[in-house]
Structure 1
Amino acid sequence: MIGDVHLLLTDDQGRVLFGRRANTGYADGAYHPPSGHLEAEESVVDALVREADEEIGVVIAPGDVEFVHVMHNSSSGGRVAFFFRVVRWQGVPENREPDKCDALEWFGLDSLPAEMIPYCREALDRIASGERMSVYGW
């Protein structure tokens, strides 16, 4: 089963940073928070910290990572997506993967962009309502 981490980098106005997918061949044009797959022998927190640096150039202390949701998704035969909120970080977010992302934008959870990957929209709706676990697509 594939494990994913999703970063809900949240500014002082409560907005979350999203990237717009481009040139990936999957859901190009859709907005998605910085995310990635777990690597071998890596904790979910370590993966989140690594992805934040790789994708948007911010440094996150592991103690500043707050678990907010887990989703068991049926895609690809089964995936587990972990969502984490971070409100404190070092650096200024920048697009470090212009070959996969053509824009970074902040959105409130109550004003999400129209174009999103469906499971992610569902997870964010669940997070906004305080749910910590969901199942999608089964």
Structure 2
Amino acid sequence: MAYLQDFTFVIRHKKGKDNVVADALSRRPLVLNLMKTQVLGFEQTRVGYAECLHFVKILSSFIDPAAPKSRDFYLTDGYLFFSKRLCIPRISLRDFLIWETHAGGLSGHFGVNRMILSLEQHFYWLS
């Protein structure tokens, strides 16, 4: 024997403060776009370029107008990028990124190759 249930829902628009939940849900993408994350020590990335043998040469090419330029690197707000990937000098942030990709709560460890590919999509460094 099949049971039939009638559900009666009347959807009425509520103006102003009465509709706070629906209003917040409709703006979710906007909220996520405005949310910022602060990584402690991230500003050390800019300082680390001058101490990294590989990146100091590239960084100096931006300072010296006579130095040859690489089309693959660019400098924005003191951060060095290689083909849209943030360059990470050998600082503790690099170890954190490896750990987070390997065992962090936001990603799971799916093997060494996949972990490396995940890092290489966003960051650049030499071993």
* TM-score in terms of structure 2 length: 0.22
Larger radius of gyration: 2
Query: Which structure: greater strand fraction?
Result: 1
* TM-score in terms of structure 1 length: 0.21
